[in-house]
Amino acid sequence: MSHGEIIAVCTSQNKGERKKDIGQCQLLENFGLEGDGHGGDWHRQVSLLADESIDKMRAAGLDVGPGDFAENLTTRGIDLCTLPLGSLLVLENGAELEVTQIGKECHTRCSIYYQAGDCVMPKEGIFARVIKAGSVAKGDRIELQRRGPAGED
């Protein structure tokens, strides 16, 4: 199956703001990243965005990097926006994430848009829930273990 790498692990106190790369964190089952404003008992516990998507914004002239689009995990090497709902991502230290949403309806010109000048999350970001806790750190391997819901391999 497909695999990639964690480029950044980002958190913020509040939803809808740029996140800061903290290098490593604990993924808490049915919550998300420890101390992150997105955490909670809902379907968008962890947001992921490919560094390749951020590259597109850099090519358009924006000075942006990991965390600037409010994503928790910045990855490289996995085409996130093509994953079907229910896909299972497994991190190097055993944490498991199940894809629950592809993209999101952006609030008309959200704060990220104003801060960064554009936003790729609505089209290319994905959301997941933590189904198995574990740590995550910059440089960790991330692997697509299952494409689509369980039983559809």
CA atoms 69, 73, 77, 83: torsion sign: negative
- For residue 153, being part of any structural domain is answered with no
Q: What is the pLDDT of residues 114-146, one digit of tens each?
A: 555 555 555 788 999 999 999 999 999 999 999
For residue 25, give both structure tokens. Answer: 């964190």
- For residue 106, being part of any structural domain is answered with yes
φ, ψ for residue 116, nearest 5 deg = -100, -20
For residue 26, give both structure tokens. Answer: 């604990």
Bridge partners of residue 10, in order along the sequence: 21
Parallel, antiparallel or unpaired: strands 46-50 and 73-76: parallel
The model carries a pTM of 0.88
- For residue 99, being part of any structural domain is answered with yes
Q: What is the pLDDT of residue 106?
A: 56
- Model confidence at 110: pLDDT above 70: no
Q: What is the CATH number of the domain that holds 136?
A: 2.40.33.20
Q: How many domains, in total, are found in the chain?
A: 1
Q: What is the pLDDT of residue 60?
A: 77
For residue 67, give both structure tokens. Answer: 């965390």
d(CA 7, CA 4): 9
To which H or E segment does residue 123 belong?
Answer: helix 121-124
CA atoms 12, 15, 87, 150: torsion sign: positive
Q: What is the pLDDT of residues 90-106, one digit of tens each?
A: 999 999 999 999 876 65
CA angle 19, 104, 138 (to 5 degrees): 35
- For residue 151, being part of any structural domain is answered with no
- Distance in Å from the first CA to the final CA of the chain: 11
- For residue 68, being part of any structural domain is answered with yes
Domain that holds residue 26: 3-146
Distances 143 to 76, 94, 98 between C-alpha atoms, Å:
11, 10, 12
* Alpha-carbon torsion angle 106, 108, 109, 112, nearest 10: -30
Q: What is the pLDDT of residues 58-87, one digit of tens each?
A: 887 878 899 988 899 999 999 998 899 999
